[in-house]
Structure 1
Amino acid sequence: MPSASFTPEGPYRLASSIRFLEGFTPASYEQVADGVLRLAFPADDGHSVIGCAISQKEAGDTPSAAVSARFTVHRDGRTVPAAAGTPAHAAARSQIARILSLDVDGTGFPALGETDPVVAGLQADHPGLRPVCFHSPYEAAVWAVIGNRLRVSQAAAVKARLARDYGQAVDVAGQRLHAFPTPEALRRLDRVDGLTGTKVERLHAIAEAALDGRLDAAALRAQPAEFALTDLRELPGIGPFSAELVLIRGAGHPDVFPAAEPRIHRAMAVEYRLDADTAADPARLARIADAWRPYRSWVGSLLRVRAHERATSGPV
């Protein structure tokens, strides 16, 4: 089985990523508690599927122990050779790294906490947690379309059902997982239980965009964020909030302030004890977030995790 090794630049703990996914409804992550992260997902090429088992060496208090992934690549029900040195191996390795934000140099991230007590608190509460991204910009855009005007639990059920009924099943470290349908498979669906005809049409458009290269993660991250967001908003069903979701959580851009994400804005207001006028002004919030560069997406992610914890913990 092909394998890949990653040496995190800066703090990273796989256990923190697993805990995040266990509480992240779109992921529907419920697996054996053995410290192994098992994933199955459409590959960036739009045609293949990757199954991978990710683990991290135990190294005491070492904040950036090596991470390893054993994976398989499948297409049309067959396993694709992906030995080291092949394009298939390089593509799979790159996508796995992006999903876990291991493709970003995080050595400068701890320094943000030295000058910002709020960031310091977030880092202390969630050691080694980096943004865990959607498997691709394609899946992030699909989630945005499915989730529009649906409760999160309803949207997650639709997404899981699509994976079970139309996605490829892959055996990963002793468990059978269903990847979400590839763009090729998704665009062939005439109807989807729980979704309107308009949403199905939008899903077809997302699938076509992925196959046309319009949702390429590297291309989205290579251009100025405002240009990428403008391009994404041209897709049916993708507004300002969804475009940021695709760029930050789909393409894994590490340094974008989520100007259209009210939950993060409310979290900033609470953590920074902002007055009402500042809390309601995205431009003022963006100026506060300038101090988080070049990790604005990372701090935003931690703020959202903190807000979710506060919302679900109940009275103490």
Structure 2
Amino acid sequence: MSTHTVRHEVLGPWSLDTSREFWEGFAPAALTAEQRPGTLSTVFRVDGDWSTAHLAVIQRDTVAELSLEGDGDLESAAEQAARFLALDVDAQQWPGIGDRDEVIGRAQHALPGLRPCGFHSAYEAAAWAVLSQRIRVEQAAHLRQRVIADHGDDGAFPAPERLAALHLDLPGRKAEYLHAVADAALDGRLDTARLRSMTPEDAMDSVRSITGIGPFAAELIVLRGANAPDAVPTHERRLAAEVAELYGPDRSVAEVSELWRPFRTWASVYLRALAERR
């Protein structure tokens, strides 16, 4: 097993502790590795070669030190880790969003330095979108953990080739849709870097070609899988309810989010995170 360490300068506010606390409560992909004080650890499937990588992150002031172990392309794994931890985003303008929108300003104060961590990849986000259709989040999280325990590698979600060959006993058409997700990943249609390089709208249109992926799932894959920082979730009812609660019943997400550019996804996640805390 090889090792690789990267020291990444993080531009803008960042707190590893706040980000780890957020991810620990992120049921779709909650951290399962044992966490040491001052460290964020996780294991994930690397886009492209589908190897397993073990990651440990520590914060040294404005520098993120990413230490990886694995048998695959660890340089690509480090880039992927920076992306799903949102460390690759230049957030020097993020505090200014709170200056011009007091609701977001209060959220920033409550969640200092939060970097909205996403799924490890668009592939894992798509798999979650399928597993969570029409069932409770807790049930879907249990299904995901069962799939990992039975068919994954050392805590990582099964690779697409493995997933495509599985005969899974899952509710409804979930097994069929998971096979479609696996095929799409093998075809390159869920390449996270490619989706991130596209406009969010084009990326969503692209992933909607996958069987079982509708509008809500497409948003999840792009906004939390590719971790695009600036797009508005339009099929998230709980966000709409939160905006109505905080801004007034006559305000819409589309309207208030104009103040959040170029961090509309981040602002949306902050509001949802505070709602979950309550």
Do these two structures clear the TM 0.5 threshold for a shared fold by scoring above it?
yes
Aligned to 1:84: none
- Asked if 1:295 corresponds to 2:272, the answer is no
Aligned to 1:83: none
Letter in structure 2 aligned against 1:151 = R
Provide closer, same or farther for how the CA distance between residues 201 and 297 of structure 1 changes in structure 2, counting only shifts above 3 A: same
The correspondence for 1:16, drawn from 15, 18, 24, is 18
In 1, Cα distance between the equivalents of 2:200 and 2:29? Answer: 26
Letter in structure 1 aligned against 2:162 = A
Aligned to 2:159: 182
The correspondence for 1:113, drawn from 82, 98, 106, is 98
Structure with the greater alpha carbon radius of gyration: 1
Does the aligned pair in 1 maintain the 2:4–2:75 contact within 8 Å? no
In 1, Cα distance between the equivalents of 2:142 and 2:42? Answer: 18
Does the aligned pair in 1 maintain the 2:31–2:42 contact within 8 Å? no
Aligned to 2:37: 34
Letter in structure 2 aligned against 1:67 = A
- Asked if 1:25 corresponds to 2:10, the answer is no
Alignment root-mean-square deviation, CA: 1.4
Aligned to 1:71: 68
Does the aligned pair in 2 maintain the 1:12–1:127 contact within 8 Å? yes
Aligned positions of 1:209-224 closer than 5 A: 209-224=184-199
Please give the secondary structure, in 1, of the residue aligned with 2:55.
strand
Summarize deviations over 1:207-240 as a string: whole Å, max 9, x none.
Answer: 1101111011222122222222112222122111
Give the superposition deviation at 1:46. Answer: 4.8
Give the superposition deviation at 1:120. Answer: 0.4
Gaps of 5+ in 1: 60-64, 74-78, 81-87, 170-177, 279-283, 311-316
The correspondence for 1:233, drawn from 203, 208, 215, is 208
Aligned to 1:76: none
Summarize deviations over 1:162-210 as a string: whole Å, max 9, x none.
Answer: 11111111xxxxxxxx111111111110123xx1362111101101101
In 2, Cα distance between the equivalents of 1:305 and 1:8? Answer: 22
How many equivalent residue pairs? Answer: 275
Does the aligned pair in 1 maintain the 2:68–2:74 contact within 8 Å? no
The correspondence for 2:126, drawn from 141, 146, 157, is 141
In 2, Cα distance between the equivalents of 1:70 and 1:223? Answer: 29
Give the superposition deviation at 1:142. Answer: 0.2
The correspondence for 2:108, drawn from 118, 123, 130, is 123
Please give the secondary structure, in 2, of the residue aligned with 1:187.
helix
Does the aligned pair in 2 maintain the 1:202–1:237 contact within 8 Å? yes
Does the aligned pair in 1 maintain the 2:48–2:191 contact within 8 Å? no
Give the superposition deviation at 1:121. Answer: 0.3
Please give the secondary structure, in 1, of the residue aligned with 2:89.
coil
Gaps of 5+ in 2: none
Q: How does the TM-score come out when normalised to structure 2?
A: 0.94
Where does structure 1 differ by over 4 angstroms across 4 or more consecutive aligned residues? none
Give the superposition deviation at 1:105. Answer: 0.7
Aligned positions of 1:261-300 closer than 5 A: 261-275=236-250, 278=251, 284-300=252-268
